[in-house]
Structure 1
Amino acid sequence: MRPFPIYVERGEGVYFYDLDGHRLLDFVNNNTALILGHAHPAIVEALQDRVAKGTAFSRPTPLEVEMAELLRERVPSLERLRFCSSGTEAVLNALRVARAFTGRRKIARFEGAYHGVGEYALVSYVPPLGPDLVPSTAGLSPAVLEEVLVLPFNDADACAEIINENADDLAAVIVDPLATGAGTCLPVEGFLSRLRELTTQIGALLIFDEIISFRASPGGAQELYGVRPDLTCMAKVIAGGTAGAVFGGRADVMGTV
């Protein structure tokens, strides 16, 4: 593996094969998006069939309707939804919808969470718990730091203090329910419910980033923990591990886009 990375030639099931012919067990699986493994026959057949018929039309297709109905059946909180191409796009759209609906500008996220490469997802706090925030990547505009709050996962009291202090200008709290970006940290009992209560009390939206946690159950982490968010983001796992994503939620909120 050193000094060069492994270059992959192909994948099959739970394995991939490097250029030297080694068969290696894949513990990454495209960041868990390949829940059926590499080159699953059903996925291959579906992709080949779609490519043969055309792939992009900038117009609605019957497959979109079929997919939307399936998602709404599995995730009741998706009263309305829209498709996009990546998890980052889904998150950025959800945040913009939250701002449009509430008329507020601030977004709260959790330290250690991964929400893609949008600017509002790339802010961290200075240990031990702020109040100063720092960009987690180069090239981030200082103005972004003024519109982002960073919360500690599984500390409901600290979250309540920060959320209530910014109640008048907080548009949304976005959370990965399983904190997968921090190594998968399961929420303590009642934590997600408390976030639901806090956001409802101040008129902010609760956004579940289920891009990874959607694997937790047929209806995602929101089904598993019995908490209904206002908006939800999902990505590659709903597209067979390929580029594809969706954001959606309450009909009145989604009516702003």
Structure 2
Amino acid sequence: MTPGEMLAVFTAGTAAGAVNTVVGSGTLITFPVLLATGLPPVTATVSNALGMIPGSISGAVGYRRELRGQRPRVLRLSTGAVLGGLAGATLLLVLPAAAFELIVPALVGLALVLIVLQPRISEHVRRRRRSTAGTDGGVPLLTGLTLASVYGGYFSAAQGIVYMALMGVLLDETQQRLNAVKNVLVALVNAAAAILFTFVADVDWTAAGLVAAGSTLGGQIGAAVGRRFSPATLRLLIVAVGGFAIVHLMAGPALGTSPLR
């Protein structure tokens, strides 16, 4: 990489780390930049996944206050996140991209619908389960997050949006506390996928290192900024970023430049 390309990758990593901590979809920032440096798509995906791990951890640390009291929940959901991440990473290595080009935008779109309707749905759910306060979301949440983690291990854009949508509907928690859990799960998925990638895929360690350094800084920035958002503002931001993700993902195949290729 040239010095200019290295600066661009670091800057993209910083922006992605901040966006991931607050919303998700930071991969839509780093991935095109990595491709622009000349990396093959799979190598860019793999290097990006490795680089995003420190940023996810940084974001989780930044939200440690909101994680208090959620240890049992995080531990329970972590198993699905790790297994899903490994499954998704395996799919990246063995399946053609075309298999996901229609599924991914639909999944992100469904997540955005859930985010928009979340207050109304959550109130309905709370009314039905007042006698079972403290529920952990049960099998539906664990199953949904595991499937979302499969997607996250394959291509992580909008992964956090899907997590927030599922948890927002099935858990009686504030947006900020759910965001804290999301950051931990994303870190686990990226780590699980990265472990597999380091053994069987090509990694550009310069790119991974630059994204890691930038995303670590961005994670702290995102935590400091994101905590100040009201639930309504956070939902609006999620919908805006998610909408951009859908346009980006759907436009790619039409132009022959799908981020999944």
What is the TM-score when the length of structure 2 is the normalising length? Answer: 0.27
Please say which structure displays the higher CA radius of gyration: 1
Q: What is the TM-score with the length of structure 1 in the denominator?
A: 0.27
Structure with the bigger RCO (C-alpha within 8 Å, sep 6+) is 2
More helix by share: 2
Higher strand share: 1
